[in-house]
Amino acid sequence: MTLEHHANPTAKIAIITGGSRGIGRSTVLNLAKRGVHSIFTYHSNQAQANEVVGLVTQAGAKAIALQLDTAQAGLFDGFAQQVQASLRELGASRFDYLVNNAGTSSNSSFANTTEAELDALFAVHFKGVFLLTQRLVPLMHDGGRIVNISSGLARFAMPNRAAYGSIKAAVESLTRYMAVELAPRRIAANVIAPGAIATDFSGGVVRDNAEVNKLVASNTALGRVGLPEDVGPVIAGLLSNEFSWINAQRIEVAGGVHI
C-alpha cells in the first residue's frame, strides 16, 4: 500500500502492531487526529487495513499498512526492512513511537492449558513484543516513546485466564526493564492495561454475549464495558509531549473494574 505523495517530514511517525481493528485501530485514528502518521500491521484482513488507511487519509494524516504475524520472530528482520522503506516513503529515516498492541486471547483454565497454547500466547504477547521492539528500537529517534499493551488481568485473577494474565504481567515487568535500559537514549516505556473491551477479541464475547457484558459492567465502577474509543485516545495522549515525563508506569484504562 503506497502513498500518493510524500508526507510532511516534520510530522511524528508511529508504528502500531495490530492496527487494523479494535484498540489498535482506535489508536491509529486518534494519532491521525493529532497529525501523527502511522505504519501499522495487520495479521490477515487486508480489506480492514485498507479501510483504516482511508480513514487516516480523511483525517489529514498518512498511514501505511504492512502484513505481519507477530508470533513469527523470524519475520522481524524482513519487517524492519519494510519499515525502513515505509519511512522513506513518508519522507523520514526514523520513527518516534512504538505501540505493541497485537494480541490473541485465551479462555483455558490453568488445568487445561496445553503446552501448544501456552507457547502460542508467549510467542505473541511476550517473545514478539521483546524481539520486535529489540529489532525496531535502532530505527527510533532518541527521545521516542514505547507503549506496551497489558490487561487488567495482570492485576486481578479470574477463572480461565491463567496463561494470558500471567504473560501480560510479564510484559509489565519487561516494560520497566525497557525504561531502564533505553534511558540513555531518553526513550520512555509505559504500559496501558485495558479492561474488558467490546471488540471481536476472544470471539467477540464481551461485545456479543449479553451475560458476559452484564457481568463485566456489574463489576465496573462506571457501570459499563469498555470500548476501543475509551482506550485509543489514552494511548495517543500518552505518546504526546504532554506526558513526556511519565515513564515505567502502568495505567489501567478500565472504568474502575474490580476496585
C-alpha–C-alpha distance, residues 64 and 50, integer Å: 9
Cα-based distances in Å from 74 to 16, 71, 127: 19, 9, 11
Q: DSSP secondary structure string, 171-213?
A: HHHHHHHHHHHTGGGT-EEEEEEE--B-SSGGGGHHHH-HHHH
Q: Which residues pair with 40 in a beta bridge?
A: 16, 65
Residue 19 near residue 52, CB atoms below 8 Å: yes
Residue 45 CB neighbours (<10 A):
12
Q: Which of 42, 97, 164, 177 is catalytic?
A: 164
Residue recorded with cell 528500537: 137
97 labelled catalytic: no
Give the catalytic positions in this structure.
Answer: 164
